[in-house]
Chain A
Amino acid sequence: MAQKISFKDTDMQAVIGWVLRIGVIVSICIVFFGGVIFLYRHGHEIADHKKFKGIPDFISTAGGIINGVFAFRGQAIIQLGIVLLIATPVLRVIFSAIGFVLEKDYLYIGISLLVLLIIFISMISGHAG
């Protein structure tokens, strides 16, 4: 029994290792690509970040980012990469939860879901405030 579980654990570790690696590589490539477009278009403008005024409207919603990506706007492409980067550890928790389901480890299925719930609540509360 113990051997069976440890074998599955190494499978799970391999999958999670790949999720993390691919997530970071893909998102950094997207950020870099968006950065090149952004600098090409806005490179000679004046940088001003002295006052906090949030981010431009067209990238403040998910729909806006997607539209911006299709319109080839550098900032939207960067933001897509950043969102993917933030999603990578969350994806890791989801994959762990699936792994625990396969192992029938009910305690840790519950714990993974609780972590996901907390992240989900922070997402919702961010909107509400």
Chain B
Amino acid sequence: MSVIVFTLIILVGAYFAGLIGSLTGLGGGFVIIPLLTLLLHVDIHYAIGASLVSVIATSSGSAAAYVKEGITNMRLGMFLEIATTAGAMTGAIIAVYIPTNYIAILLGVILICSAIMSLRKKAEQVLKQQNGWATKLKLNSSYPTANGTVNYSVSMDSIMRIPFKVSTTTSNFMIGVTAAASAVVYLQRGYIDPGISMPVVIGVLVGALSGSKILVHTQSSGWLRWVFAVVVVFLASQLIYNGIIGRI
């Protein structure tokens, strides 16, 4: 496969990952990993590096909008970043010493969990349709969020009694810094290959932007969530299977 074909395939794939990721709130960056490893047989280290960079791009891009609207609690975000950056740094260091097939299995399990969570999130949004469908959508899902968002916002929401809107945007705000902490390590380890991250970053960002445009105009993206959840679960089981038999 020539470099130009390789780049174009990733570009198209990343566009759809960003598009669907932003519609479901799952995050395009995360879906990039199975796409690269299973379809294009890229080494998982490069895939992790590329997806991490695209997570930073989408998180920073959307945080810019949320901060300006004043719905991000910057103090809360900063406080929690102590823990998330420390965790990210530890994870990045550990990742170097873990065999790749374990990483693939772990990722597969997390992907399945987040696919289930994205379907749950949909039910929640349907409930809230009555009180401000448009505002709700715009604030919550117009931009992609990395996988961790779900966990962050759930814990902020139910444990700390922070309003839901604020918890979602604040977690989105934090993801950029969290990803940057581990991206610094990955950059030095050579995980971030320019030939791969270039089409991934551009594709995911453009896809996420058009996803947010579609979301404002569409009435229901419910069926899309289901399609996406099925695809993600399928990819995730492939990852787990390949991880177990040691092909990755």
A21 to chain B, nearest CB (A): 4
Decide: A24 near B180, CB < 8 A? Known: A38-B195, A46-B1, A129-B96. no
Across the interface, A125 reaches (CB within 8 A) one of B46, B93, B195, namely B93
Decide: A43 near B43, CB < 8 A? Known: A20-B64, A89-B60, A108-B75. no
- Whether the pair B74, A12 counts as a contact (CB closer than 8 A) is yes
Q: From DSSP, what is the main secondary structure of chain B's interface residues? A: helix
A52 to chain B, nearest CB (A): 4
Asked if B192 CB lies within 8 Å of chain A CBs, one says yes
Asked if A47 CB lies within 8 Å of chain B CBs, one says yes
- Whether the pair A122, B64 counts as a contact (CB closer than 8 A) is no
- Whether the pair A118, B181 counts as a contact (CB closer than 8 A) is yes
- Whether the pair A17, B3 counts as a contact (CB closer than 8 A) is no
Asked if A50 CB lies within 8 Å of chain B CBs, one says yes
- Whether the pair A89, B180 counts as a contact (CB closer than 8 A) is yes
Q: How far is the CA of A88 from the CA of B182 in the complex (A)?
A: 14
Look across to chain B and name the residue whose beta carbon is closest to the beta carbon of A125. B93
Q: CB within 8 Å of A: which of B210-244?
A: none
Residues of B near A4 (CB, < 8 A) are: none
Interface size on A, residues (CB 8 A): 65
Residues of A near B64 (CB, < 8 A) are: 17-18, 20-21, 24
Decide: A85 near B53, CB < 8 A? Known: A43-B4, A111-B78. yes
- Whether the pair B75, A28 counts as a contact (CB closer than 8 A) is no
Decide: A49 near B177, CB < 8 A? Known: A89-B59, A93-B81. no
Residues of B near A89 (CB, < 8 A) are: 56, 59-60, 176-177, 179-180
Residues of A near B190 (CB, < 8 A) are: 53-55, 60
- Whether the pair B184, A82 counts as a contact (CB closer than 8 A) is no
Asked if B185 CB lies within 8 Å of chain A CBs, one says yes
- Whether the pair A45, B2 counts as a contact (CB closer than 8 A) is yes
- Whether the pair A21, B61 counts as a contact (CB closer than 8 A) is yes
Decide: A47 near B67, CB < 8 A? Known: A13-B74, A90-B177, A126-B185. no
Q: How large is the interface on B (under 10, 10 to 19, 20 to 34, 35 or more residues)?
A: 35 or more
Q: How far is the CA of A112 from the CA of B79 in the complex (A)?
A: 8
Asked if B196 CB lies within 8 Å of chain A CBs, one says yes
- Whether the pair B184, A86 counts as a contact (CB closer than 8 A) is yes
- Whether the pair A122, B182 counts as a contact (CB closer than 8 A) is yes
A-B contact sample (10 more), CB < 8 A, given A76-B194, A88-B180:
A20-B176, A21-B64, A24-B57, A31-B201, A43-B3, A49-B193, A49-B196, A50-B41, A79-B192, A119-B181
Could you tell me which B residues sit within 8 Å of A by CB distance? 1-7, 40-46, 53, 56-57, 59-61, 63-65, 67-68, 70, 72, 74-75, 78-79, 81-82, 85-86, 88-89, 92-93, 96, 176-177, 179-185, 187-190, 192-199, 201-202, 205
Offer 10 A-B interface pairs, CB within 8 angstroms, sorted by A: A20-B64, A27-B57, A47-B6, A47-B7, A51-B43, A82-B201, A85-B60, A90-B180, A118-B82, A125-B185
Could you tell me which A residues sit within 8 Å of B by CB distance? 9-10, 12-14, 16-18, 20-21, 23-24, 27-28, 31-32, 34-35, 38-39, 42-47, 49-55, 59-60, 74-76, 78-79, 82-83, 85-90, 92-93, 96, 108, 111-112, 114-115, 118-119, 121-123, 125-127, 129
